[in-house]
Amino acid sequence: MITVEHLCKSYNGPHGPIKVLNDVSFQVQRGEIFGIYGPSGVGKTTLLRCLSLLEKPDSGDIFIAREKVSSLAGKDARHVRLRLGLSVVFQGYNLLNSRTALGNVMLPLEIRRVPRAEARSKAKELLKLTGLGSRQDFYPSNLSGGEKQRVAIARALVTEPRVLLLDEPTSALDRETAISILQLVEKLNRIYSVTVLIVTHQIELARPITSRGIFMSPNGKGVEVKENVVN
Amino acid sequence: MSSIERTVALLWPATLETFAMVAWSLFLSHLLGIPLGLLLVLTGPGGVAENKLAYRILDAAVNFGRSVPFVILTVSVVPLTRFLTGTSIGPVAAVVPLTLAALPFVARLTETAVLTVDRGTIEACISMGASRFDLIRFVFIPESLPSLVSGMAITAVNLVGYSAMAGAIGGGGLGDLAVRFGYQRWETGIMLASVAVLVAGVQIIQLLGDRISRRLRR
Ligand SMILES: Nc1ncnc2c1ncn2[C@@H]1O[C@H](COP(=O)(O)OP(=O)(O)OP(=O)(O)O)[C@@H](O)[C@H]1O
Ligand SMILES: [Mg+2]
């Protein structure tokens, strides 16, 4: 489903370019839950940003459903996101402060021009599934960190994505809630065979649901990737 | 006619004129200035439709507009004012230079307000498949609305000041009244009364702007 080949990406730091991804390659099968692990600052978010077409790699290729997506930007990237059903949960949640929890979850449906009533009931359903039924009319500023994170997860799931990119989706949650969220992801994965890439520090929590993964480790030049280290 | 009655009889229509001048030019300058501000954001550095040339032109035009002194602007747009309103004096005519003076200011305030919207929030919406138009509709305007409202109050206060100046060169309104009676005839009472109404107006605008902005800030 997803193929990453020799991916390289550097950023312009204050003292010249920093090589973050240095020849990263791996494959994710359709319907797999794939883990991405590694210490802080190693480039996990950067990798997900490339996969969600928010960042263009310097070199290397990304294929999603056999389509080469790594060089797309603007309108082309938008069409691919919609067509391939890409959905992202960001490390920083990135909720809209001007919208309630419900409004935030409805947004991707509004963007897809889903009729309002339908969008509303779907969004409510997802908020219930993530345990936030009673918080639907709260604005992000009145939600706890974990609640915001669950709104972000509900927002990513509401479109029934085919590819789900999760950046530390349970970092702000207690063990029990984290497990229930991961079980929800697994359930969706089982029922709809959603392909899931999950970045997480909580390896022991993710282990039961992930089939394979990569460990990204910093080395002199950048990042070295070992496959299948976890299972 | 008592002197109070006379003052009121003079002040009331002038107040209405000033209110109408400010309200119309506030509305029109936002109608044109907000899209211009959004265009600055879209084409500006790091914008979703980044375009160096377009930005440079718009940016320079806005700076130019903001640097022309109001009196000179008023005089130099007289032909346009005549064309649009059929006259070059009076409160209706004054709306044209007032709008033109506020427009670049509104564009800049809009740009500044929208630029404070969190980059991550914008990217989240892009990742959902939002088009540029979606971004404007769902993110740029709603997310910066509290700042836009604060900016609107600032613009309105500036317009009250400008409208007084427009009055002095034949625009009517409270500024006109203050100059005619205070400066030309030394009727200090009328002058003080019109200044008092202007001061009260500015206070009310600022109070309303702060209230609404705060209520919108979630
Ligand atoms: N926009 C940017 N400009 C410059 N450097 C950046 C930028 N974004 C990330 N970096 C750098 O790239 C490196 C990798 O960042 P990234 O966010 O991908 O790490 P991460 O693995 O997700 O870390 P964490 O687990 O802490 O979230 C970091 O050293 C960071 O400083
Ligand atoms: Mg990260």
Judge: A81–B218 Cβ closer than 8 Å, yes or no: no
What is the signed CA dihedral for B78, B84, B87, B90, rounded to 10 degrees?
A: -90
Task: Establish whether residue A231 lines the binding site of ligand 1, counting it when its CB lies within 6 angstroms of any ligand atom.
Answer: no
Shortest Cα–Cα distance, B115 to chain A (Å): 15
Mean pLDDT, range A1-24, rounded to an integer = 88
pLDDT of residue A228: 53
Mean pLDDT, range B111-130, rounded to an integer = 96
Judge: A94–B139 Cβ closer than 8 Å, yes or no: no
DSSP H helical ranges for A99-217: 101-111, 116-129, 145-157, 175-192, 203-206
B123 touches chain A (CB under 8 A): yes
Judge: A108–B129 Cβ closer than 8 Å, yes or no: yes
Q: What is the pLDDT of residues A144-199, one digit of tens each?
A: 988 999 999 999 999 999 999 999 988 888 888 888 888 888 888 888 889 999 99
pLDDT of residue A227: 54
Q: What is the pLDDT of residues A30-70, one digit of tens each?
A: 999 999 988 888 889 999 999 999 999 999 999 998 888 88
pLDDT of residue A222: 45
- State the DSSP code for A55: S
Phi, psi values for residue B208, rounded to 5°: -60, -45
pLDDT of residue A20: 87
Segment B42-45 long-range contacts (CB within 8 Å, at least 24 positions apart): B42/B132, B44/B111, B44/B115
User: Where are the strands (E) in chain A, listed by range?
Assistant: 2-13, 16-28, 33-37, 59-64, 67-68, 86-89, 163-167, 195-199, 212-218, 223-227
Mean pLDDT, range B128-140, rounded to an integer = 96
The pairing of strands A33-37 and A212-218 is parallel
What is the signed CA dihedral for A166, A167, A169, A170, rounded to 10 degrees?
A: 140
* Strand order across the A195-199 sheet: A86-89, A163-167, A195-199, A33-37, A212-218, A223-227
Phi, psi values for residue A9, rounded to 5°: -150, 130
Mean pLDDT, range B122-145, rounded to an integer = 96
pLDDT band at A75 (very low <50, low <70, confident <90, very high): confident
pLDDT of residue B155: 97
Check whether A29 has a pLDDT greater than 60.
Answer: yes
Answer with the residue of higher pLDDT: A223 or B214: B214
Mean pLDDT, range B77-95, rounded to an integer = 89
Question: Which amino acid is located at A197 in the chain?
Answer: L
Q: What is the pLDDT of residues A202-225, one digit of tens each?
A: 888 888 888 888 888 776 344 555
Mean pLDDT, range B136-148, rounded to an integer = 96
- State the DSSP code for B178: I
- For the entire predicted model, the pTM comes to 0.89
Longest CA pairwise span in chain A (Å): 54
Percent of chain B with pLDDT over 90: 71
Token pair 């609404």 in the structure block, residue: B212
Mean pLDDT, range B139-159, rounded to an integer = 96
pLDDT of residue A157: 93
pLDDT of residue A70: 87
pLDDT of residue B165: 84
Q: How far is CA B135 from the centre of its chain?
A: 25
Interface test with B, best of A97, A106, A139, A197 (most B CBs within 10 A): A97
Mean pLDDT across chain B, nearest whole number? 92
Question: Which ligand is closest in space to the CA of residue A37?
Answer: 1
Q: Which among B124, B129, B142 has the least Cβ separation from residue A78?
A: B129
Token pair 């202007």 in the structure block, residue: B198
Closest residue in chain B to residue A95, using alpha carbons only: B121
Phi, psi values for residue B183, rounded to 5°: -85, -45
Answer with the residue of higher pLDDT: B57 or A217: B57
Residue owning the nearest CA to atom 9 of ligand 1? A46
Mean pLDDT, range B50-70, rounded to an integer = 95
pLDDT of residue B95: 93
B145 touches chain A (CB under 8 A): yes
B214 touches chain A (CB under 8 A): no
Quote the CA–CA distance of B179 and B167 in Å, as a whole number: 8
- The first and second tokens of residue B115, run together, are 């630029």
Probe target for ligand 1 pocket from A15, A44, A50, A89, with the most ligand atoms within 8 Å of CB: A44
pLDDT of residue B51: 94
Token pair 């990304």 in the structure block, residue: A62
Judge: A78–B118 Cβ closer than 8 Å, yes or no: no
Q: Which of B155, B20, B178, B193 is nearest to B94 (CA)?
A: B20
Q: Which among B120, B129, B218 has the least Cβ separation from residue A90?
A: B120
**ipTM associated with this complex:** 0.90
Q: What is the pLDDT of residues B157-196, one digit of tens each?
A: 999 999 988 877 777 889 888 888 887 888 888 888 888 9
Mean pLDDT, range B29-51, rounded to an integer = 95
Token pair 């709809």 in the structure block, residue: A192
